[in-house]
Amino acid sequence: MIFMYIRCHRRLTRVLCETGQVETERAADVLRGAGHVAVLTGAGISTDSGIPDFRGPQGVWTKNPAAERTSTLSHYLHEPEVRRLAWQQRVASPAWTAKPNPGHAALVDLERQGRLVALVTQNIDELHQRAGSDPALVVELHGTMRRVVCWSCGADGPMEPVLDRVRAGDPDPHCLACGGILKSATISFGQGLDPLTIERAEEAAVKCDVFLAVGSSLGVYPAAGLVPLAREAGAGIVIVNGEPTPFDPIASAVVRGSISEVLPLLVAPA
Q: Active-site residues: which are they?
A: 142
DSSP state of 158: E
Exposure string of 106-117, with b = 16+ CB inside 10 Å and e = fewer, is bbbbbbeeebbb
Nearest CA to 265 out of 25, 20, 1 is that of 25
Q: What is the Cα–Cα distance from 16 to 207, expressed in whole angstroms?
A: 30
Polymer length in residues for the chain: 270
210 - beta bridge partners? Answer: 37, 236
* Amino acid, single-letter form, for residue 9: H
Give dist(CA 77, CA 171) in Å, integer.
Answer: 15
The C-alpha atoms of residue 120 and residue 114 are separated, in whole angstroms, by 16
Q: Which helix H or strand E contains 237, and what residues bound it?
A: strand 236-240
Asked whether 240 and 39 are in contact (CB, 8 A), the reply is: no
Q: What single-letter amino acid sits at 119?
A: L
Contact 16, 252 (CB under 8 A): no
